Amino acid sequence: MLNSLQDLYHIIPLLIVSGGILVSIIVEMYSKDSEKILFALSILVFGAAGLFSLYSVNNVSILFNGMLATGGNVNVFSFIFNIGAFIVTLLSADYIRKYGTYYGEYYIILQSSVLGMMLMAGAKDLFIIFIGLELMSISFYVLAGLNRKRYNANEASLKYFLLGAFATGFIVYGIGLIYGTAQTTSIDILTVRFPQLTGNLLFLAGVLLFLVGFTFKIAAFPFHMWVPDVYQGSPTVVAGLFSTGGKAAAFSAILVTLAALFNGNVGSLFTPYLIFVSALSMIYGSIVAISQDDIKRMLAYSSISHAGYLAIGLAAGNSEGTAGIIFYLAAYSFMNLGAFGIVALIEGENETNLSIASYAGLAKRNPALAALLSIFMFSLSGIPPFAGFFGKYYVFFAAIKSGLTWLALIGILSSVISVYFYLRIVVLMYFKDQGEEVIPSKSAMGMVGVVLSAILVVLLGVFPGSIINLISSFL
Amino acid sequence: MSLEILLFIVFSLISVISAILMITRSNAVISALYLILNFAGLAGLYLLLNAQFIAVTQVIVYAGAIMVLFLFVIMLLKPEHEKKFLEAKPKLKIFAVAIAAIIFLQLIYLLFFSKPSESLSPEMTKSIDSGTIEAIGKQLYTNYLLPFEAAGFLLLAATVGALILAKKKIE
Amino acid sequence: MTIPIEYYLALSAFMFLVGVTGVLIRRNAIVVFMSIELMLNSANLTLVAFSSYLGNSVGQIFVFFVMTVAAAEAAVGLAIIIALFRNKLTLNIDEINILKW
């Protein structure tokens, strides 16, 4: 429960987003021109919540009888989710009309998914993790199948739904065993009791089931089958949200729940599992991405390999790793959203122009877009001046510090492989002329979104030190 | 043999047999009916565990509302019957069953090896008190207020989502 | 409470794996979804058993939320299945494969 008005101040970002959902529903009911109003409202909601999270980053507190944390890295995550959704909204403005789904409900569901992500990042109790996860996932299932006249979208949404619900089954069973053996669902108490409970096999089975369920949600190796299909079938901007916000929220939930595993006190209980997930995701994602012709499938496999790089930070299990993951997630969210945004701009009516060949000669026809896409591709492949490089640098550094040098080496190897398929697009854009005439759609809002992500990618690449210091100061 | 043990055996047999029948029937309607029987068996077990509120909710919400929704959809769509168990992809299916059996044996081993009952000292009165509507309601509106509110948003999002996916006409 | 909790947990583990098997071997999307409901229910049995033997109601409140989520999932999932059926007239997940797995 809230005890004072002061507490209300701490949850303003949550109040803004949840208020946004309610107002959007009312606007959608009564207004004929709801599409434009809801677009403006979503921009306002996400912008305000994101900026306020950053502004109040030092207001650390725990509310609702130890259910919810605010301030610190919770607000850093909240900033990532909200600004990510802000960019997605900008990109959607003209895209969803082109794609054939201009319902006002789109924005309502988008806001619900962000509310779920924010709850997951702020959770101090398994209840909140679970409800937040489901709020986000159910919104995602709907977003994937938004254009229900299109068979592709139906199929993507059914696959996402069945596998997502399957993973939820594992997570609930895992939470059941954790609750029974630790006798609590409070994450703080769980963290304290973790060292004594490591001898209890039933507890470890519960944690393992929980991790397996979340491996689905972060789209990492043994449970990655749904990723390419879902990204290919969903609207492009929505796929961008799945691969950034969804992944960041799932990682935040793992970091929060199993905090005991990542502060170096418990040791290396689940390290073998995390190493397995991480190494295979990196290698598998990078190698399969080479052979893809569809750009959305290529970005999907690249998303699997990025889940692997992020899992290096989990396997490292020290506070450098945690800080590295948070920085990496911020960098990855903005660069990947930018890449998906450009794909959405290039995409023609009826999901055409999605093959990699459509990008040939883009530099001549539209130098600005080509330059922006090059920034995102350089950053995704981890080439120095951009944010992606520092993200990888911090997680590899954490791995080396905890003695997993060979895992960092696999990461570097996989980055080298990935340079091939990222730079292939850059080469196509600049050095190949005879492409088919692909005219990118004119969308001022979309351009603003892409430029904004490029600015954030460059900023994170220029000031990585101060940001990592900010994140580390809250650990 | 005490009544408790007898009831446990009856309810668990109902649950186990109906669960197995549920996944092996080729007609989806019959599967759904067996699932309802399974839920009824579980409700009986919940009563044995002194969880009155959950037992009642299980029957009203799960068996009464969710499964009726399933039955409506199955009868609306009239899916064709599936092939018999071993007619399509037999190797894959045998593999799946074998994996599940191995995991089951491991879990059983884990359970009886780690003996959770040794660290638990069940007290009948405490257990009965914790399962009443009063106890659950009190907790729900005090300590668990935030998840309760969030669940409201979850249902709202699901309602909007289901409407947009399934309504007949798009303007 | 003369029955040791292990028996409840073993029953729940068994039903959970029956559910997992159902998801893996069945081809009808609705039956796959019902198998997932079976998994959720067996997890509920674990939660209620622990809750009762520990004598605190937290596990039962969690079950209450799992039921809420199951209801929301059922609404959205069945809506997705209906939308798919209108386009393709099948529920067999082997035939739902325009996008390659």
Asked whether the beta carbons of B38 and B19 are under 8 A apart, the reply is: yes
pLDDT tens-digit map of A289-328: 988 888 899 999 999 999 999 999 888 888 888 999 999 9
Interatomic CA distance for residues A408 and A401, integer angstroms: 10
A307-to-A119, A174, A303, B129 alpha-carbon distances in Å: 21, 22, 6, 46
Interatomic CA distance for residues A59 and A256, integer angstroms: 18
- Nearest-CA neighbor of A40 among A88, A90, A76, A79? A90
Q: Which residues pair with A63 in a beta bridge?
A: A68
Give the helix/strand (H/E) hosting A62.
strand A61-63
Arithmetic mean of pLDDT, A276-293: 90
State which residue of chain A sits closest to B161, comparing Cα positions.
A142
Q: Residue A142 above 90 pLDDT?
A: yes
Asked whether the beta carbons of A112 and A143 are under 8 A apart, the reply is: no
The two beta strands, A61-63 and A68-70, are: antiparallel
Arithmetic mean of pLDDT, A392-408: 89
Q: Residue C101 above 60 pLDDT?
A: no
Q: Residue C2 above 60 pLDDT?
A: yes
Each domain of chain B, given as residue ranges in start order, spans: 1-82, 132-171
Asked if A145 lies within 8 A of B165 by C-beta distance, the reply is yes
Interatomic CA distance for residues A2 and A6, integer angstroms: 9
Count, residues in chain B: 171
**Closest-CA distance of chain B to residue A145, Å:** 7
**Closest-CA distance of chain A to residue C89, Å:** 11
Residue A213: which pLDDT band, with cuts at 50, 70 and 90? Answer: very high
Asked if C66 lies within 8 A of A154 by C-beta distance, the reply is no
Q: Give the CATH fold of the C5-88 domain.
A: Helix Hairpins (1.10.287)
First vs last Cα of chain B: how many Å apart?
Answer: 66
Asked whether the beta carbons of B60 and C62 are under 8 A apart, the reply is: no
Q: Which residue has the higher pLDDT, A449 or A385?
A: A449
Interatomic CA distance for residues C91 and B81, integer angstroms: 10
Q: Give the CATH fold of the B1-82 domain.
A: Four Helix Bundle (Hemerythrin (Met), subunit A) (1.20.120)
Give the range among A107-116, A416-425, B98-107, B148-157 with minimum mean pLDDT.
Answer: B98-107
**Residue of A25, A131, A148 lying closest to B165 (CB–CB):** A148
CA dihedral sign, ordered A249, A250, A254, A257 = positive
**Closest-CA distance of chain C to residue B171, Å:** 16
Q: Which residues pair with C28 in a beta bridge?
A: C92
**Closest-CA distance of chain A to residue B7, Å:** 24
Asked if A179 lies within 8 A of C29 by C-beta distance, the reply is no
Q: Residue A133 above 90 pLDDT?
A: yes
Give the mean pLDDT of chain A. Answer: 88
Give the helix/strand (H/E) hosting A61.
strand A61-63
Asked whether the beta carbons of A264 and A318 are under 8 A apart, the reply is: yes
**Closest-CA distance of chain A to residue C37, Å:** 8
Residues 149-178 of A with CB under 8 A from B: 149, 157
> Burial code of B81-118, b = ≥16 C-beta within 10 A, e = fewer?
ebeeeeeeeeeebeebeeebeeebeebeebbeebebbe
Asked if A180 lies within 8 A of C76 by C-beta distance, the reply is no
pLDDT confidence of residue A1 = 54
pTM of the complete model beyond 0.90: yes
Chain A residues with CB under 8 Å of C72 CB are 134, 138
Residue A2: which pLDDT band, with cuts at 50, 70 and 90? Answer: low
Asked whether the beta carbons of A271 and A262 are under 8 A apart, the reply is: no
Q: Mapping DSSP to helix (H, G, I), strand (E, B) and coil, where does residue C28 land? A: strand
Give the helix/strand (H/E) hosting A70.
strand A68-70
pLDDT confidence of residue B59 = 92
What residue has token string 């929301």? C72
Interatomic CA distance for residues A162 and A144, integer angstroms: 13
Cα–Cα–Cα angle for B60, B62, B66, rounded to 5 degrees:
110
Asked if B70 lies within 8 A of C78 by C-beta distance, the reply is yes
State which residue of chain A sits closest to C83, comparing Cα positions.
A148
> Burial code of A120-150, b = ≥16 C-beta within 10 A, e = fewer?
bbbbbbbbbbbbbbbbbbbbbbbbbbbbbeb
CA dihedral sign, ordered C23, C26, C29, C31 = negative
Chain B residues with CB under 8 Å of C51 CB are 49, 51, 130-131
pLDDT confidence of residue B12 = 93
Give the mean pLDDT of chain B. Answer: 85
pLDDT confidence of residue B154 = 94
Copy the structure tokens of residue A27: 């606007």
Give the helix/strand (H/E) hosting A79.
helix A73-99
- In eight-state DSSP terms, residue C57 is S
Copy the structure tokens of residue B117: 């009952």
Q: Residue B158 above 90 pLDDT?
A: yes
- Nearest-CA neighbor of B96 among A408, A158, C20, A410? C20
Copy the structure tokens of residue A130: 């679970």
Interatomic CA distance for residues B65 and C67, integer angstroms: 11
Chains touching C (3+ CB pairs < 8 Å)? A, B
Copy the structure tokens of residue B77: 């769509």
Q: Mapping DSSP to helix (H, G, I), strand (E, B) and coil, where does residue B97 land? A: helix
Q: Cα torsion at A406, A412, A417, A421 (round to 10°)?
A: 150
Q: Is B25 left (phi over 0), alpha (psi -120 to 50) or beta?
A: beta
pLDDT tens-digit map of C57-86: 899 999 999 999 999 999 999 999 988 888
Asked whether the beta carbons of A245 and A340 are under 8 A apart, the reply is: no
